Structure 1
Amino acid sequence: MLDTLVFVTVLLPFLVAAVLLVLREQNVRKVILVATAGVLALASLAMLRGGAFIMSPAPLYDTLITLGDFVILFVVLFVGIKRKNQIIIWLSVAQIIGLIILDFFMVKEHGNIPAFFADDLSLVMVLIISIVGSLIAVYGIGYMKEHEEHLHLTKSKQPQFFFFIVLFLGAMNGLVLANNLLWMYFFWECTTLCSFMLIGHDDTEIARKNAERALWMNVLGGTAFLFGIILLQKVVGTLSLQEILARGPEFAVAGGAILVPMFLLVFAGMTKAAQAPFQSWLTGAMVAPTPVSALLHSSTMVKAGVYIIVRLAPVYAGTYFSNFVALFGAFVFLATACLAAGQSNGKKILAYSTISNLALIIACAGINTPAAITAAILLILFHAISKALMFLCVGAIEQKIGSRDIEDMRGLFAVMPRTALVAIIGIMTMMLPPFGMLMAKWMAIESAHGQFLLMIMLALGSGVTVLFWCRWAGLMLGTPVAKAKPEAQDITVRAPLYILAGLALVVSFFSPVVYNSLVAPVVKMYYKAAPYALPYGNFDSPVGIFLVYPLFLLLGLGFYFALKQARKVTAAQCSQPYMCGEQQTVDGKPGFLGPLGLHVPVQSGNYYLEQFFGETMLSKWINVIALAVLVIMLFGGAL
Structure 2
Amino acid sequence: MLDTLLFVLVVAPFIAALGLYFFRANAIRVLIVLVAGVLLAGASLSLFSYAPFAVAPGLLGIEFSPLVTVLDFLLLFLFLGIGIRKRHALITTFASTQLVLLAILEIFLVKHGHESPLFVGDSLSMLMVAVVSIVGSVIVIHALPYMKNHEEHQHLQESRQPQFFAVLVLFLGAMNGLVLTNNFLHFYFFFELTTLCSYLLIRHDKTDIAITNATRALWMNCLGGVALLLAITWIYLDLGTLDMQEIIREAPQTALFLVPCGLLCLAGFTKAAQLPFQSWLLGAMVAPTPTSALLHSSTMVKAGVYLILRFAPAFMGTFFSDAVAIAGAFTFLAAGALAIGQSNGKKILAYSTVSNLGLIIACAGINTPAAVAAAMFLIMFHAVSKALMFLCVGTIEQRIASRDIEDMRGLYATMPLTAIIAVLGSLTMILPPFGMLLGKWMAIESAANNVIIVVMLAVGSAITVMYWARWAGIFMSYPIGERIEVEKQAFLTRVPLLGLLTGAFVLSFAAPWIYTDLILPSINQLSSVFPMATYVTPFDTTGGILANAKGVFPTVPLFLVCIGGGLLAIMSFKRAKKQRAVGPYLSGVQIPDDNTAYRGPLRNAIHPTAANYYLERLFGESTLTGWVNGAAIMLILLMIGGGL
User: TM-score normalized by structure 2?
Assistant: 0.96
CA contact (8 A) 1:9 1:170 kept: yes
For 2:544 and 2:442, the matched residues in 1 are separated by 15
Residue 353 of structure 2: aligned partner: 354
1:561 aligns with 2:568: yes
For 1:443 and 1:510, the matched residues in 2 are separated by 16
Distance 1:218 1:481, change over 3 A: farther
1:401 aligns with 2:428: no
Q: Return the match for 1:199 from 193, 199, 202.
A: 202
For 2:347 and 2:261, the matched residues in 1 are separated by 31
Residue 84 of structure 1: aligned partner: 87
| Distance apart, 1:566 and its partner CA | 2.3
The amino acid across from 1:390 in the alignment is: M
For 2:113 and 2:324, the matched residues in 1 are separated by 32
| Distance apart, 1:157 and its partner CA | 0.2
For 2:595 and 2:18, the matched residues in 1 are separated by 55
Aligned counterparts, 1:86-101, within 5 A? 86-101=89-104
RMSD, aligned CA: 1.5
Deviations 1:94-131 (A, max 9, x none): 00000001111111125523221111110111111010
CA contact (8 A) 1:589 1:602 kept: no
CA contact (8 A) 2:582 2:595 kept: no
Aligned counterparts, 1:145-544, within 5 A? 145-248=148-251, 251=252, 254-479=253-478, 483-528=483-528, 529-530=534-535, 531-544=538-551
CA contact (8 A) 1:273 1:303 kept: yes
Count residues in correspondence: 633
CA contact (8 A) 2:513 2:541 kept: no
Residue 609 of structure 1: aligned partner: 615
Deviations 1:329-352 (A, max 9, x none): 111101101111111111111100
Range that drifts further, 98-107 or 569-578: 569-578
Q: Residue 117 of structure 1 aligns to a residue in which SS?
A: strand
User: TM-score normalized by structure 1?
Assistant: 0.97
Q: Return the match for 1:66 from 59, 65, 69.
A: 69
Q: Residue 533 of structure 1 aligns to a residue in which SS?
A: coil
The amino acid across from 2:244 in the alignment is: L
The amino acid across from 2:540 in the alignment is: A
CA contact (8 A) 2:414 2:484 kept: yes
Deviations 1:183-228 (A, max 9, x none): 0000001000000000000000110010000000000001101111
| Distance apart, 1:593 and its partner CA | 2.6
For 1:355 and 1:44, the matched residues in 2 are separated by 26
For 2:168 and 2:592, the matched residues in 1 are separated by 50
Aligned counterparts, 1:21-60, within 5 A? 21-55=21-55, 56-57=57-58, 60=63
For 1:128 and 1:193, the matched residues in 2 are separated by 21
CA contact (8 A) 1:313 1:368 kept: yes
Deviations 1:34-81 (A, max 9, x none): 011001111111111221211121574111101011111011111111
Residue 636 of structure 2: aligned partner: 630
Deviations 1:159-185 (A, max 9, x none): 010111000000000000010000000
The amino acid across from 2:256 in the alignment is: A
| Distance apart, 1:477 and its partner CA | 1.3
Q: Residue 596 of structure 2 aligns to a residue in which SS?
A: strand
Residue 123 of structure 2: aligned partner: 120
The amino acid across from 1:100 in the alignment is: A
| Distance apart, 1:562 and its partner CA | 2.2
For 1:145 and 1:131, the matched residues in 2 are separated by 22
The amino acid across from 1:282 in the alignment is: L
The amino acid across from 2:456 in the alignment is: M
Gaps of 5+ in 1: none
| Distance apart, 1:481 and its partner CA | 6.0
The amino acid across from 2:310 in the alignment is: R
1:599 aligns with 2:602: no
| Distance apart, 1:418 and its partner CA | 1.4
1:620 aligns with 2:626: yes
Distance 1:431 1:110, change over 3 A: farther
Q: Residue 114 of structure 1 aligns to a residue in which SS?
A: coil
For 1:356 and 1:631, the matched residues in 2 are separated by 20
Distance 1:90 1:110, change over 3 A: farther
| Distance apart, 1:565 and its partner CA | 2.0
Residue 531 of structure 2: aligned partner: none
Range that drifts further, 627-636 or 392-401: 627-636
CA contact (8 A) 1:390 1:426 kept: yes
| Distance apart, 1:231 and its partner CA | 0.5
CA contact (8 A) 2:412 2:477 kept: no
For 2:183 and 2:106, the matched residues in 1 are separated by 12
Deviations 1:279-333 (A, max 9, x none): 0100110000010000000000000000011111111100000000010011110
| Distance apart, 1:374 and its partner CA | 0.3
1:575 aligns with 2:582: yes
Deviations 1:600-623 (A, max 9, x none): 221111111111111111111110
Distance 1:134 1:373, change over 3 A: same
For 1:414 and 1:448, the matched residues in 2 are separated by 44
For 1:476 and 1:340, the matched residues in 2 are separated by 18
The amino acid across from 2:347 in the alignment is: K
CA contact (8 A) 1:585 1:591 kept: no
For 1:482 and 1:527, the matched residues in 2 are separated by 60
For 1:124 and 1:428, the matched residues in 2 are separated by 23
For 1:292 and 1:10, the matched residues in 2 are separated by 20
Range that drifts further, 69-78 or 528-537: 528-537
| Distance apart, 1:573 and its partner CA | 4.5
Distance 1:22 1:77, change over 3 A: same
For 2:585 and 2:359, the matched residues in 1 are separated by 43
| Distance apart, 1:585 and its partner CA | 7.0
Q: Residue 108 of structure 1 aligns to a residue in which SS?
A: coil
The amino acid across from 1:163 in the alignment is: A
Residue 141 of structure 1: aligned partner: 144
For 2:165 and 2:62, the matched residues in 1 are separated by 30
Deviations 1:506-530 (A, max 9, x none): 0110111111111111111113444
Instruction: Among all aligned residue pairs of Structure 1 and Structure 2, give the percentage whose two residues are the same amino acid.
Output: 50
| Distance apart, 1:483 and its partner CA | 4.9
Gaps of 5+ in 2: 529-533
CA contact (8 A) 1:332 1:359 kept: yes
| Distance apart, 1:236 and its partner CA | 1.8
For 1:473 and 1:481, the matched residues in 2 are separated by 21
Deviations 1:505-554 (A, max 9, x none): 00110111111111111111113444322232211122111111121122
Q: Residue 353 of structure 2 aligns to a residue in which SS?
A: helix
The amino acid across from 2:631 in the alignment is: I
